[in-house]
A and B are shown apart, each in its own frame.
Chain A
Amino acid sequence: MEEESGQSIFQCYQCGKCTAGCPVSYAMDLNPRQIMRAIQLGLKDDVLSSSAIWVCLSCQTCSARCPIEIDIARVLETLRHQAVREKVKPGDKHIETFQRIFLGMIENRGRVHELELGLRYNVASKDPLGHSSLAVGMLKKGKISKIRPGRVKGASEVKELFRKVRSLEAGAAPQEPGEKGE
């Protein structure tokens, strides 16, 4: 974990400044200070299955205020990436679902359309009428300009980047387009 995050986790002496400044520590099962301690104690399963790594907003307040300059937000991010790689059941299913749908839209369209993102999230979270007042309000205010976004020229290039990154991460040599997932 120290190597992947590039952070000296074992230097943390539990002062708690990270947690005092964290706007969402109240919503975490393990707060940032406890996450750091749990890593020191080798409690891998506890940290990877925690809600904390998903609730973290990456606002970087903890990192900015750490007296020994540990980038705690980076540590949480690295834990999240590890949890994703190891297919650990996410500690906050809502956030994980939203981010996956979001990433899928970027992969397939190159840009993000907010209405479509919201609708897809509603379907995936089995809440078809979720956030309807927000959607109605946005439609009324003309904040949703197109019902269906046009295709961006760079979209196919973005899709190809995703494919290459995934191949690299799977440890395989990049495949030629058309071989898989097209």
Chain B
Amino acid sequence: METVYSYYPGCTQLSSAKEYDVSARLVCEKLGIELRELPDWTCCGASAAHTLDETLSVVVPARNLVIAEKEGLPLATACAMCFSRLKIAAHELGDAEKLDQFKEITGKDFGNSVEIVHLLQALDSEEVSYPVERPLQGLKVACYYGCLLTRPRETVGFDDEENPHKMDSLMAALGAEAVDWAFKTECCGASLPFSRPDIVVKLAHRILRNAKQAGADCVAVACPMCHSNLDTTQDDMKKTYGDDFELPILYFTQLVGLALGYSSHELGLEKHFVDPRPMLKSKELG
């Protein structure tokens, strides 16, 4: 298997999701997977470009694919939004007319040959062996994939779109128990926390209520936007719905890092609004 990737961190990894970036790099280093940051990368266009303009929704992310093609390595990203936008851009450029238009706009040669993977694929437990130092015994994890990783299936080609399992298998390989629950791929409210926080709180509340009912100690995510929407809204859920979940939301890379022996501090566990450390300590994992 390929062990060197070009790495596309994405904008949130520089600020609100710093701990996702830090834990991803630590974990990959330990597993012998090299992440070489893509030189001169720029935003994937996120929700804004595809909301407002068809052409920009392809051109803005694809600029990064031109750089990646030159680097000659598969491109890994940790953010589900970036993953989705890059994959959809590559898919759209499969159309010869669109590819010609793109080359004309950028003035650059591009063969659209870049393999794009999400970090969950690069860390697939069926292909990577995990030297577990601290098995996550007794930890019940609700693996949350959200919408962007799995849909549309023919474009992202990631996993089953209704019942994905990659993260569940990974958690099991680390000794944790992946709980069976219904909201694995329900949307968290995506890019609406500023403009329509009412919608985000409602959707995130439904997701966490189901995770709690399934007996989860925490929720594992693979997207900074999902993380923020599920983690930072729990006070508002209490005010709106009277439910005080106090349910820690962790990046899956942080759980991998814990199992590989890194400390809570190294993995940035203190950065979450709902502090996962007391729960982990009670299970002798922190």
A-B contact count (CB 8 A): 174
Determine the distance from Cα of A118 to Cα of B232 in the docked complex, in whole angstroms. 15
Q: What is the CB-to-nearest-CB distance from B191 to chain A, in angstroms, rounded to a whole number?
A: 8
Looking at A12-20, A29-37, A41-49, A131-139, the stretch in contact with chain B turns out to be A131-139
Q: What is the CB-to-nearest-CB distance from A19 to chain B, in angstroms, rounded to a whole number?
A: 14
Determine the distance from Cα of A18 to Cα of B31 in the docked complex, in whole angstroms. 42
Give the nearest-CB partner of B275 in chain A.
A141
Contact of A161 among B11, B17, B18, B59 (CB under 8 A): B59
Q: What is the CB-to-nearest-CB distance from B117 to chain A, in angstroms, rounded to a whole number?
A: 20
> Which residues in A have their C-beta under 8 angstroms from that of B60?
106, 158, 161
Question: Once the chains bind, are B152 and A64 in contact (CB under 8 Å)?
Answer: yes
Contact of B40 among A137, A154, A165 (CB under 8 A): A154
Question: Once the chains bind, are A121 and B194 in contact (CB under 8 Å)?
Answer: yes
| Max chain B C-beta neighbours (<10 A), residue from A64, A92, A131 | A64
Q: What is the CB-to-nearest-CB distance from A168 to chain B, in angstroms, rounded to a whole number?
A: 7
> How many residues on B have C-beta within 8 angstroms of the other chain's C-beta atoms?
57
Question: Once the chains bind, are A99 and B56 in contact (CB under 8 Å)?
Answer: no
> Which residues in B have their C-beta under 8 angstroms from that of A130?
194
Determine the distance from Cα of A145 to Cα of B12 in the docked complex, in whole angstroms. 11
Determine the distance from Cα of A58 to Cα of B187 in the docked complex, in whole angstroms. 9
Question: Once the chains bind, are B232 and A134 in contact (CB under 8 Å)?
Answer: yes
Question: Once the chains bind, are A161 and B151 in contact (CB under 8 Å)?
Answer: no
Q: What is the CB-to-nearest-CB distance from B23 to chain A, in angstroms, rounded to a whole number?
A: 14
A142 within 8 A of partner (CB): yes
Contact of B15 among A58, A60, A115, A157 (CB under 8 A): A115
B contact residues vs A (CB 8 Å cutoff): 11-12, 14-18, 40-43, 45-56, 59-60, 63, 101, 105-106, 147-148, 151-153, 161-162, 185-187, 189-197, 199, 203, 206, 232, 235, 270-273
Instruction: Give 7 new A-B contacts, CB below 8 A, not counting A78-B54, A133-B235, A144-B16.
Output: A23-B187, A81-B54, A95-B195, A103-B52, A125-B195, A152-B42, A169-B53
